[in-house]
Chain A
Amino acid sequence: MAKKEFKRPDGRKPDELRPMQAKVGVVPNADGSALFSFGDTIAIAAVYGPKKMHPQHQQDPEKGTLRCNYSMLSFSVDDRIRPGPNRRSTEISKITEWALEPSLLIKRYPNMVIDVHINIIQANASTRCAGINAAAMALAHAGIPMKNIVSSVSIGKLDKSLVVDLDKDEEDWEEGEGSTDIPITMTPNGEITHIQLDGRITKEQLKEVIELARKSTKKVYEVQKKALKESVKL
């Protein structure tokens, strides 16, 4: 059966990410900071710490604590978001902690906390992925000892076709089988530290998605690595 040529709304190739931008040191006050963008989606992250955990009863004598806070600025989307935490941002904050923690040597900081603040300045889908990428870079920039850096990307299934790095038009895709959104975070070795899925897919297709994510996160990784290297004067 001849497959009809699938066209993405913005004309990208299926495995093409939006132009990425990565920069470290965007918040001079912080111990580490970074900006990461996928096209119009812009995230900034700042790291404060490791510092003594407050309140004291939350101290963990066995390992340090990674505390992430994801938040979208009120004007980052069409309909203003009420400032402050909501159920979605609470969940993404925790997901981000889980996505980042496997790469950190956090055992070295008992009773300490590493605060990571992530803000979405401008949103056009894939904000959690951009946030995780910025946060991973900010942690490296802060000099937190880590095994490697994680990279995140959203894989989408629009009708039957797999695409990389969904934008808002694609997220709202309604033709055929509609849109399935699968944000994934991986280490450079292809280990999964985060996966979510919303939509409809088969087991076999999901295996393809993971393979595609492995290739795509590598591209993100190169961008992150380059920005970090450029920030260091040799």
Chain B
Amino acid sequence: METTKITGKRIKEYLEKGKRFDGRKPEEFREISVETDVSNKAEGSARVKIGKTEVIVGVKLNVTEPYPDSPDKGNLMVTSELLPLSSGRFEYGPPRFPAIELGRLIDRAIRESKFIQLEKLCIKEGEKVWGVFIDIYSINDEGNLIDAAALGAVIALKTARLPKYDEKNEKIVYGELTDKKVPVSEEIPVVITTHKIGKGIIVDPTIEEEDVSEARITIGGSVEGSLFSIQKGNSKEITAEEMNKILDISEKTRKKVFSSIEKYLK
């Protein structure tokens, strides 16, 4: 933990009065900005900033064998890398837990919401399907990479188009994108992470707030009112009442965040 104890204590004292270091209210999100097509070799890509936090998400497609348990569906794979460039805290080497978890959290929100219509990505049952790779890279970690990564993944998917596939030679012609979009559904999964710190419950944490977080609840859901994925993190318990409050806060936040990125999803 790199945030000092005394800072942690101060964060809690502030939150008891409903205040945060950067002047935000507990349920206030930082400004979100989005840019698409940030890498022209990717079939779809997006850059998402939440305040100073920044991620880049790219979508690559290939033609591959389906998984044995879903012979008539495309493959989905989400991975994330926390680049040493994005924070003095990250080091090179095999992925550690935070990177693994980030990939899995986004994977589950997208998979469980059935946002990608994987059944439409089957070319020949049992033999050939499209594989969708969503790769997440942190560019600057100032807290809340999870929510940023999920927005990036959804927007990158929304912009992604299938490359040309040469049936005869069984080869993809990368660089020649077709008009065909990656088939996605109308219902958009939005991931909101809530933290309990002392007596306060906040959304969109800064890195200091993440350091002193006692319980973290990540919820993937849609503005239509479905919840697709939940994961509790960190080692303090929460009561059922707190959970209910978190559900309400995250629902409100989901609607706000969705409306601020809606224009990129058209």
Cα–Cα, bound, A193→B103 (Å) = 22
Interface SS, B side: mixed
Mark out the residues of chain A between 20 and 41 whose CB falls within 8 Å of any chain B CB in the assembled complex.
none
Comparing B30-38, B137-145, B230-238, the segment that makes contact with chain A is: B230-238
Q: Which residues of B contact A53 (CB under 8 A)?
A: none
Interface contact A192-B231, CB-CB below 8 Å? no
Closest to B101 in A: A91
Contacts of A79 in B (CB 8 A): 68
Chain A residues within 8 Å of B103, by CB = 87
A191 to B100, CA, bound (A): 27
Within 8 A of A (CB), among B128-187: none
The answer to whether B239 and A191 touch across the interface, beta carbons within 8 angstroms, is yes
Q: Across the interface, do B236 and A202 meet the contact criterion of CB distance under 8 Å?
A: no
B235–A192 touching, CB < 8 Å:
no
Q: CA–CA, A90 to B251, complex, Å?
A: 29
Look across to chain A and name the residue whose beta carbon is closest to the beta carbon of B107. A87
- Contact among A88, A94, A98, A198 for B112, CB-based, below 8 A: A198
Q: With A and B bound together, what is the CA distance between A202 and B230 in angstroms?
A: 12
Chain B residues near A193 (CB-CB < 8 A):
232, 237
- Interface residue stretch chosen among B15-23, B45-53, B240-248, B257-265: B240-248
Stretch among B83-91, B118-126, B200-208, B220-228 lining the A interface = B220-228
Docked Cα-Cα span, A198 to B226, in Å, equals 11
Stretch at the interface among A108-116, A118-126, A203-211, A218-226: A203-211
Q: Which of A95, A196, A214 contacts B240 (CB 8 A)?
A: A214
Q: Which of A95, A102, A182 contacts B236, CB < 8 Å?
A: A102
Also in contact, A200 and B100, with CB within 8 A (given A97-B235, A210-B240): no
User: A48-81 toward B: CB 8 Å interface, digit per residue (1/0)?
Assistant: 0000000000000000000000000000000100
| One of A90, A190, A200, A214 near B227 (C-beta < 8 A) | A200
Any chain A CB within 8 A of the CB of B255? no
Jot down 29 A-B pairs with beta carbons below 8 A, ordered by A: A79-B68, A88-B104, A90-B100, A91-B97, A94-B101, A95-B231, A98-B233, A98-B234, A101-B235, A102-B236, A182-B230, A190-B240, A192-B237, A192-B240, A192-B243, A196-B230, A197-B227, A197-B228, A198-B108, A198-B112, A198-B228, A198-B229, A199-B228, A200-B226, A201-B227, A203-B227, A203-B247, A203-B251, A207-B247
